[in-house]
Structure formats: structure tokens, C-alpha cells
């Protein structure tokens, strides 16, 4: 502390020890990340939790109500599904922290008011968009994991109608469990700190984004949530995380800055709203016209066995 030269060798050793400790810690965390995270997310055992929602409203006809209520109760009961969903939501919150604390984001937003949180700014806009995207993605992923395969017989022996009714039920399940929570939370936040016109404008765009993402994730094989067999080994959580940090965060930040400018321009906002409405109608029409058969088993192509009959 007094600048004695006799302490210089000890200081050098201290720096070396600190570097070794930091390197060893980083290596341990990296090994745990790649080895343990996939095992947690893809473990076959599903332990039901205690309690859950006892009363739920109707969501259409009997088939749609049954599938939506089954999806809600399954997510509330299954710890493993909640862990997988929490991972995706955690990635979204990590990106939100980066956006809200980054000096680069504050330079891009460049608010003119004294308090930047009480007017539309890029960090909050981008954070809500990021949360909506990853929440919808996480719910779609947990839908593909079965709750209990031996219990799927109740859906197999029941004459479940394929086509439009099943697609509507799947859509409503995704909207209730993904789009609705983010929309309600964003409404409470933005209506309390922003002018109501700007808050409502962003909430409308955010809801349309959630609807579009939901429709895109519904494309493909038609499955009832939590009932189709699942082939492990296809998750790439570590790639998703770094892709989000490296690329997706920057793209969302630029899109949020563009939206911030349009919120102050009524004509530009109307054009953006019309474009999103057209996209939402197109993707919904595509899913409504899909008559794919209902699937309960996911089988890899290389395991399909044919008799090669003419």
C-alpha cells in the first residue's frame, strides 16, 4: 500500500492466481453448461406438481375447451415443462437486461425528455418484443414434449376431429399460454409509464407480432399439445442463447428504434399496422386450409420400414 518494491513479486503471483481462478471457473461453467443443460431439458421423467387451476373458462366448443384446458393444466402440473419454458424466458430476460443496461442502446434511443422511461424508447420496446418472441417459442417447444405417453390412449380412442377444429384448439392454447401473459404484463407496464396513445399503439403491434409468431409455429404436423411422442437429442439451447446475444438482439433493437419513430408518425404507423395485419391474415389462412392428419408418434425417417409392395 506504501509502494514498497518488496511486494511486487507477491502482487505478480496474486495476478497469476486470479487469472488461473477466473480461467478455471469459466471452464467449469462452460462444461456444466454444455453437459448439464441439455440433460435437464431432455430428461424423460416428468414429475407432476401439486395443486393447479381448478376452474377454467370455456374456449369454444367442447373439443377446443378440452384441449385448451388440458394444455393449461398440464403446464401448471409438470415441473419439467416449466423448467424448459423458464429457460427460454430466462434467455429473453437476459437479452432484456442487456438492452436496458447497455450504453449502446441508450445512444441509439437518444431520448429528448428528462426521464427516458416515461416516453417510448428503444430499450423498453425491444425488451417487450424479445420477451414476446421467446415466450411464444418456449411454449411451442414445451407443447412438443409429452406429459405421459401411457395416458395418450384417451386421445387415441376418442374420435378427435382433425382439420380446422383441432387447429383452432392448438392456436387458442398457444395464445392463452404465450401471447396473453406477455400482452397483459406489457399493458400494465406501458400504460402506467407512457402516454396512453403510444402505449396502445405499441401493445397493438406487440399483440399482432405474437399472433403472427403463433401462426408460424403452428405450421407443420398437427399435434395435440403434450400428447405426441418426442425424440430427444434435437435441442440446441446453447446455440439459441449465443445466436440471441450475437445477432437477434441487434436486429430487435433496430426494429424497435424503427417502431419508435413510427409511433410519432401516424401515417407510417398505419402502414406498418396494415402490413402486420395482412401477414397475420395470410398465415392464419394458410393454417386454416391445412388438412394434415393428426399425429401422435414422431418417428425419424430412417426408421420407417416399408414392405416395398407394388
Q: Which contacts qualify for 39-44: CB closer than 8 Å, 24 or more apart?
A: 40/83, 41/83, 41/84, 41/87, 41/235, 41/237, 42/232, 42/233, 42/235, 43/80, 44/232
Instruction: Residue 298: count other Cβ atoms within 10 Å of its Cβ.
Output: 14
pLDDT of residue 233: 57
pLDDT band at 147 (very low <50, low <70, confident <90, very high): confident
Where are the domains positioned within the chain? 44-300
Helices in 78-222 by DSSP H: which ranges?
79-101, 103-109, 122-143, 153-156, 164-174, 180-193, 196-218
* 18 pLDDT more than 90: yes
pLDDT of residue 17: 94
**What distance in Å separates the CA atoms of residue 80 and residue 63, rounded to the nearest whole number?**
26
pLDDT of residue 41: 55
pLDDT band at 53 (very low <50, low <70, confident <90, very high): very low
- Per-residue pLDDT, averaged over 29-46, amounts to 66
- Per-residue pLDDT, averaged over 166-185, amounts to 88
Report pLDDT digits (tens) over 272-286: 889 989 998 888 887
* 211 pLDDT more than 80: yes
What integer best gives the mean pLDDT of the chain?
A: 77
pLDDT band at 80 (very low <50, low <70, confident <90, very high): confident
Identify any residues that bridge with 294 across adjacent strands, giving them in sequence order.
222
Amino acid at each position: 500500500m506504501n509502494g514498497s518494491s518488496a511486494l511486487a513479486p507477491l502482487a505478480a503471483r496474486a495476478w497469476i492466481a486470479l487469472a488461473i481462478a477466473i480461467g478455471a471457473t469459466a471452464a467449469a461453467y462452460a462444461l456444466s453448461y454444455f453437459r448439464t443443460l441439455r440433460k435437464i431439458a431432455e430428461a424423460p421423467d416428468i414429475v407432476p406438481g401439486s395443486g393447479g387451476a381448478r376452474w377454467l373458462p370455456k374456449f369454444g366448443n367442447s373439443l377446443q375447451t378440452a384441449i385448451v384446458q388440458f394444455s393449461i393444466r398440464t403446464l401448471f402440473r409438470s415441473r419439467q415443462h416449466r423448467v424448459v419454458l423458464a429457460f427460454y424466458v430466462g434467455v429473453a430476460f437476459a437479452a432484456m437486461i442487456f438492452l436496458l443496461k447497455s450504453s449502446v442502446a441508450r445512444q441509439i434511443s437518444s431520448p429528448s425528455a428528462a426521464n427516458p422511461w416515461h416516453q417510448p424508447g428503444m430499450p423498453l420496446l425491444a425488451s417487450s418484443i424479445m420477451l414476446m418472441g421467446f415466450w411464444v417459442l418456449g411454449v411451442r417447444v414445451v407443447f412438443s414434449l409429452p406429459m405421459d405417453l401411457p395416458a395418450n390412449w384417451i386421445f387415441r380412442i376418442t374420435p378427435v376431429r382433425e382439420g380446422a377444429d383441432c387447429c383452432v384448439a392448438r392456436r387458442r392454447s398457444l395464445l392463452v399460454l404465450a401471447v396473453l401473459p406477455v400482452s397483459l404484463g406489457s399493458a400494465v407496464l406501458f400504460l402506467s409509464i407512457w402516454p396512453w396513445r403510444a402505449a396502445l399503439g405499441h401493445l397493438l403491434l406487440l399483440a399482432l407480432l405474437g399472433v403472427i409468431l403463433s401462426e408460424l409455429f403452428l405450421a407443420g404436423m398437427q399435434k395435440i399439445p403434450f400428447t405426441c411422442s418426442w425424440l430427444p437429442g434435437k435441442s440446441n439451447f446453447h446455440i439459441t442463447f449465443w445466436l440471441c446475444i450475437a445477432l437477434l438482439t441487434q436486429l430487435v433493437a433496430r426494429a424497435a428504434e424503427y417502431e419508435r419513430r413510427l409511433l410519432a408518425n401516424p401515417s407510417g404507423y398505419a402502414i406498418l399496422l396494415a402490413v402486420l395485419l395482412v401477414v397475420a391474415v395470410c398465415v392464419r389462412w394458410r393454417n386454416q386450409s391445412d388438412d394434415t392428419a393428426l399425429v401422435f408418434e414422431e418417428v425419424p425417417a430412417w426408421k420407417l420400414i416399408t414392405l416395398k409392395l407394388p
